[in-house]
Structure 1
Amino acid sequence: MTDANELIKNFNTGREQERLELKYKKMRSNAFVFLRGTCHVFYDRLPKENIFIDAPLVWCCGDLHLENFGSYKGNNRLTYFDINDFDEAALAPLTWDLVRLLTSILVGSISLGIKKKDAQLLGNVFLTSYRSTLSMGKSYWIERETADGRIRRLLDNLRERKRSTFLNKRTDTLKGKRQLKIDGQRALPASSHQFDVIAEFMEKYAKTQADPNFFHPIDIARRVAGTGSLGLDRYIILINGKGHLDGNYLLDLKASSPSSLVSHLKVKQPKWQTESHRTLELQSRMQAVSMSFLESVNIQKKDYLLRALQPAEDRIVFDRSINSIDELENILHAMGKIVASAHIRGTGRDGSAITDELIKYCQKNQWHTQILAYADNCAKQTNEDWKSYICAFDDGFFNS
């Protein structure tokens, strides 16, 4: 078995050093963050068993874990709770998504302050909900009127969130104008060259839009967000928007890279125009409703996704503030429905199984108990790799 630390170092070669150091530091904090930052290692470790080879092919999120679900405003102006990260999306056996999510429950149980037996119970709740939804062959969605529990409270609270409050958290106001807040946590300064390149692109992009003045750039910074993608080229852009202090908008510009699943798959993938087109297309297929603003763009022959940062974006933080197993069961039940629905929406396209195949598979009796056992093994391996990573990090292995 290849050493995890070598895999991590090789995978991140060439990334921007300052944000890469932030990634490495985050990954040291706990095993769950380590899991989030090492999707490529997870699939390198995936057991070579039939359950991960023979299961029906679906369009997978790829990096499915507890905190890759969240709220967003759709292009129909309603707010949804759904899978919200598709950087690793690919055509793969459905069991790949399931084992990663189940592993994240077990690995994240320490952050939640729950016992292993409760984490296993939650995994079973998720899987039961997934199978039940899949057996119906019909996709569902979760928005305010169909949500309950903590997810409903999250979506209800978003109704009260104002754009001005959202902007004030990420900007400062100087002489009646906003500028991005460079705090080292969410944003780092862009170099003059980076600023000029992105500003020039935005001015050209604006000219292609119905309201060019809306997209006029005011300020640009390097964005710090996520875990696995840290070190990739990424910017936060403050634009004119509606032209007044509280009418400004924020955009996220993120470099795209290949899915880390593909090198571990023997399944033929479509020939996408670019990696950002892959992400955009699969997000559109798998989400209940597409985000209100999401585009593939090219800047100096580099591939990016451009999207709006919304006041309606939020997620459930899985920590000890969730102090009820019943509440966690409710969330995992909803996530099971969400994942099954995402898999159903992508059926019969570019090599994915048809819905009838998924229904037939979910009715088999053994695979769900097997995958729970494999998730337990994957969680143990993740914890071992994380402990090894701590030693390597502290010894300066990732400094060069």
Structure 2
Amino acid sequence: MPTTRTRTIAPADRAVALQAQRNLKMARSAHAYVRGNTKQFYEWLQAQAPDSLPAGPAIWICGDCHLGNLGPIGNVHGSVEIQIRDLDQTVIGNPAHDLIRLGLSLAMAARGSDLPGVTTAVMLEQLMEGYCAGLAGESGEPDAPLPAPVHLVMKDALRRSWKHLARDRFDAVVPSVPIGKRFWKLTSDERAAIARLFEKKSVSRLATLIGSRDDDAPVAVLDAAYWMKGCSSLGLQRYAVVLGVGQPDSDDLQYCLIDIKEAVPAAAPAYARPRMPDDHAMRVVEGARHLSPHLGDRMLAAELLGRPVFLRELLPQDLKLEIEQLTRAEATEVAAFLGGIVGKAHARQMDAVTAKAWGSELRKGRSKTLDAPGWLWSSIVDLVASHEAGYLHHCRRYALREAA
């Protein structure tokens, strides 16, 4: 059976190789399992009684709001902020779902850091405090220090250039895609379709949005490959495309890496009769523009080989929060900070009256011993138990087979 260790993967074998890689990535840790198994989370949501969770205002939500889906994001003018960075599952739905998903991710990160259960309780309290502050536009002072794990990622983001991006993605700085474990050869149809796509001015313009580039600069496809990337997204059509922006062989020539990803129906539950685009790529772009303007303003919906896709340039500053170990103090600081980020993303879609009413609703149901509302605490406890069991079964099924 083909595996991702082979140097080349035939198009007919991609699905098998991708599924094998996804299963192994999810077996690395309980937190990785949570990140990769969005289906289990949505099934749990669907099984809840209609009145067990608060019904928030109908806004765009991430739908898959875990730790790895937040991080530094650059905008077209060079500014960098921590925002939501993955919007494949974005829908117009209940903002409480983002809080539960992030709370589960934080709880599993705490367990992976061998922190006591009381720390998880405090994290959820701080998550809610941060969210409500972000909702009210009060989350932190502009010059307030970032939590240490977030500060390290942001510091790295601010110093990065194309060379750093190329080394991370390609293990080299040359403007070509190395065929091997992560990047696979395209079929002739795929290569031709990508070339035709970037012949369209509306698409090639994506490479000239960055403020340092001339709007009329010529754009050329230098190389492209199928990209084996992600975890929950493995199995979707995905391509890495290197573009040259500017006159060839000139000192002003710049390189950029475009990520093309297939858009599929969202599994995240949406409110009934939402005003969302029918085209799934347009849905992802629209959700990104509402939740993460730094990212959404440099995304584009298109069609490739008869499938909806969305495109974005991967900037050197775009990084995910990779938090493997947390101290007790860091855990609570990170929870409050990220709660504030999600609160701000939700609040920018609400007027002041709606945001205030939603904040008041979230503050209901708090006990004398727990500031986090009971529905959030009980949801996380149920989900942690479910995912711990699911993770062990997953490891027995896939990791043991690989080790044999």
Task: Determine if the TM-score, normalized by the shorter chain, exceeds 0.5.
Answer: yes
Tell me the distance in 1 between the aligned counterparts of 2:303 and 2:324. 38
Residue 361 of structure 2 is aligned to residue 361 of structure 1: yes
- TM-score, normalised with respect to structure 1: 0.82
Amino acid paired to 1:252: D
With over 3 angstroms needed to count, the CA separation of the structure-2 counterparts of 1:220 and 1:53, relative to structure 1, is same
Aligned to 1:179, what secondary structure does the other structure show? coil
Q: In the alignment, what sits opposite 1:30?
A: 29
Tell me the distance in 1 between the aligned counterparts of 2:230 and 2:192. 25
Kindly state the Cα deviation for residue 206 of structure 1 after the two structures are TM-superposed.
7.3
Q: In the alignment, what sits opposite 2:287?
A: 282
Tell me the distance in 1 between the aligned counterparts of 2:172 and 2:287. 38
Residue 267 of structure 2 is aligned to residue 253 of structure 1: no
Q: In the alignment, what sits opposite 1:9?
A: none
With over 3 angstroms needed to count, the CA separation of the structure-2 counterparts of 1:68 and 1:208, relative to structure 1, is closer
Q: In the alignment, what sits opposite 1:7?
A: none
Q: In the alignment, what sits opposite 2:238?
A: 234
1:204-243 → structure 2 map (5 Å cutoff): 204-205=200-201, 209=205, 214-242=218-246, 243=248
Post-superposition CA distance 1:216-242 (Å, at most 9, x none): 111111112221111100000011124
Aligned to 2:159, what secondary structure does the other structure show? coil
Aligned to 1:229, what secondary structure does the other structure show? coil
With over 3 angstroms needed to count, the CA separation of the structure-2 counterparts of 1:147 and 1:88, relative to structure 1, is farther
1:75 touches 1:291 (CA, 8 Å); kept in 2?
A: no
Q: In the alignment, what sits opposite 2:3?
A: none
Residue 344 of structure 2 is aligned to residue 341 of structure 1: yes
Aligned to 1:193, which of 181, 189, 213?
189
Aligned to 1:228, what secondary structure does the other structure show? coil
2:80 touches 2:158 (CA, 8 Å); kept in 1?
A: no
Aligned to 1:386, which of 381, 384, 391?
391
Aligned to 1:179, which of 165, 176, 188?
176
1:1-400 → structure 2 map (5 Å cutoff): 16-46=15-45, 47-49=47-49, 50-52=51-53, 54-134=55-135, 136=136, 138=137, 148-150=146-148, 151-171=150-170, 178-185=175-182, 187-205=183-201, 209=205, 214-242=218-246, 243=248, 247-262=254-269, 265=270, 267-287=272-292, 289-291=294-296, 293-320=298-325, 322=326, 324-347=327-350, 354-366=354-366, 368-393=373-398
With over 3 angstroms needed to count, the CA separation of the structure-2 counterparts of 1:160 and 1:327, relative to structure 1, is same
With over 3 angstroms needed to count, the CA separation of the structure-2 counterparts of 1:293 and 1:55, relative to structure 1, is closer
Kindly state the Cα deviation for residue 277 of structure 1 after the two structures are TM-superposed.
1.0
What percentage of aligned pairs have identical amino acids? Answer: 18
Tell me the distance in 1 between the aligned counterparts of 2:141 and 2:257. 25
Amino acid paired to 1:200: R
Tell me the distance in 2 between the aligned counterparts of 1:260 and 1:207. 28
Post-superposition CA distance 1:286-334 (Å, at most 9, x none): 12544552111112321111100111011221113x4x32223222211
1:172 touches 1:178 (CA, 8 Å); kept in 2?
A: no
Post-superposition CA distance 1:45-103 (Å, at most 9, x none): 23513232634443221101111111111133201111111111112222211111111
Structure 1 residues 284-293 or 224-233, which shifts more? 284-293
Structure 1 residues 146-155 or 305-314, which shifts more? 146-155
Tell me the distance in 1 between the aligned counterparts of 2:355 and 2:102. 22
Amino acid paired to 1:81: I
With over 3 angstroms needed to count, the CA separation of the structure-2 counterparts of 1:141 and 1:118, relative to structure 1, is closer
With over 3 angstroms needed to count, the CA separation of the structure-2 counterparts of 1:106 and 1:328, relative to structure 1, is closer
Amino acid paired to 1:254: K
With over 3 angstroms needed to count, the CA separation of the structure-2 counterparts of 1:103 and 1:304, relative to structure 1, is same
With over 3 angstroms needed to count, the CA separation of the structure-2 counterparts of 1:21 and 1:196, relative to structure 1, is farther
1:222 touches 1:234 (CA, 8 Å); kept in 2?
A: yes
With over 3 angstroms needed to count, the CA separation of the structure-2 counterparts of 1:156 and 1:318, relative to structure 1, is closer
With over 3 angstroms needed to count, the CA separation of the structure-2 counterparts of 1:121 and 1:183, relative to structure 1, is farther
Amino acid paired to 1:178: P
Q: In the alignment, what sits opposite 1:5?
A: none
With over 3 angstroms needed to count, the CA separation of the structure-2 counterparts of 1:58 and 1:293, relative to structure 1, is closer
Question: Aligned pairs, how many?
Answer: 369
- TM-score, normalised with respect to structure 2: 0.81
Tell me the distance in 1 between the aligned counterparts of 2:138 and 2:298. 23
Q: Extract unaligned runs of 5+ from structure 2.
A: 1-12, 209-214, 367-371
2:147 touches 2:333 (CA, 8 Å); kept in 1?
A: yes
